[in-house]
A and B are shown apart, each in its own frame.
Chain A
Amino acid sequence: MSIALRLSLIVCSLLILFFVMRRIKKSGLEITDSIFWLFISAALIVIAVFPQIAYWAAGLLGFDAPANFVFCCGIIVLLVRTFAQDQKICQLKKRLMTLVQEEALRNVK
């Protein structure tokens, strides 16, 4: 892993931390969700400071380069997150529908 990649991981991590903190301050993020982002931020720092972890895991799983392993992890985490968000959005849509219909029907009678 190049120094440039490690530095950009650290910058990314700090940026995430900054935006998460700002969002929480403005009540624009639920604490439960902020935990996910804080975890990502911490994981990026750990990989940047101890790239041996990436080397070890890349060797174990047969990646050509540790950077590939880091990217692959990122993609998987984001895929899972998107799926979880789709579920959440579906739930919110259902609630919104119930709410709007209840409110509309209330005005009829």
Chain B
Amino acid sequence: MRVLAIIPAYNEEESLASTVDEFLAAKTDCDYLVVNDGSSDGTERVCREHGYRHVTHPTNLGLTGGVQTGMKYALSHGYDAAIQFDADGQHVPTYIPAMVAEMERTGADIVIGSRFVNERKSLSARMLGSRLIAGIIRLTTGQAIADPTSGMRLFNRAMMEQFARRFDFGPEPDSVAYLLRHGAKVREVQVEMRERQAGESYLNFAKSISYMARTCTSILFVQWFR
């Protein structure tokens, strides 16, 4: 199975090199593509200096647009599956082969690198949000997803086509819920994740609230006539 790791990078000059070098050192048998999403810092320079395979957006599109570019690339280059891999060092590449093996073994459409297959969720505010989203997904799809907010997801070709073709269809829990409701088979594999290596977390309080509002409304209401 040919797998492409899509690494969306927006202003990640500090952590990009260590992330990609760790990815290469892990010998995952996967190719990678850095999608520089119109960064205003030295992300482009880091890519060039290290000779990373990358594409650069002339302007910032956001995560949805960045991942979509990666999906389109993967489809046109004949990859069988694509995994989203964060540039900030949160994801650990040594878990990728286990996820790919799970997809090959079970024929799943989506394999989520999950923090909570064997481990319990803590009681932090962030995990409260994760519980709420998991509860809503269970309510609307009847299926349990332990870690819906994990960004480390492996998609097969049918799913890649959805992400490449649709508008406003980001790599977010509501898209996973939508695909679930339309018959996608989802499996989870236990992984570890790290705290961000550099930079500031993207989710401050106001953003968290609007993220939750968007995700919950989308899963509960909007998905039904999408």
A→B interface (CB under 8 Å): 21, 24-25, 27, 30-32, 34-35, 38, 94-95, 98-99, 102-103
Interchain CB contact under 8 A, B217 and A31: yes
Number of interface residues of B (CB under 8 A): 17
Smallest beta-carbon distance A16→chain B, Å: 14
Instruction: List 20 A-B pairs, Cβ < 8 Å.
Output: A24-B226, A27-B166, A27-B168, A30-B168, A31-B168, A31-B174, A31-B217, A31-B222, A32-B214, A34-B217, A34-B222, A35-B214, A35-B217, A94-B59, A95-B60, A98-B38, A98-B59, A99-B58, A102-B59, A103-B58
Contact indicator A25/B226 (Cβ below 8 Å): yes
- The answer for the CA separation of A38 and B218 in the assembled complex, in Å, is 11
**B58 and A31 form a contact (CB under 8 A):** no
**CA of A34 to CA of B174, assembled, Å:** 14
0/1 per residue, B180-196, Cβ < 8 Å to A? 00000000000000000
Beta-carbon contact of B59 and A99 below 8 Å: yes
For B225, the chain A residues whose CB sits under 8 A away are: 21, 24-25
Closest 9 interchain pairs by CB? A102-B58, A27-B167, A95-B59, A98-B59, A31-B218, A30-B168, A21-B225, A35-B217, A25-B225
B221 & A38 in contact (Cβ 8 Å cutoff): yes
Residue B125 at the A interface, CB < 8 A? no
What does DSSP make chain A's interface, helix, strand, loop or mixed?
Answer: helix
Closest to A103 in B: B58
The closest CB in chain B to the CB of A97 belongs to B59
Q: Roughly how many angstroms separate A24 CA and B166 CA in the complex, as a whole number?
A: 12
What is the bound-complex CA distance between A34 and B224, given in angstroms? 13
Residues of A within 8 A of B210 (CB): 32
Task: Report chain A residues within 8 Å CB of B166.
Answer: 27
Looking at A27, A31, A32, A34, which has the most chain B CB atoms within 10 Å of its CB? A31
**Interchain nearest-CB distance for A45 vs B (Å):** 14
- Closest chain-A Cβ to B169's Cβ sits at a distance in Å of 9
Shortest CB-to-CB span from A90 to chain B, Å, is: 14
In Å, the complex CA distance between A80 and B226 comes to: 28
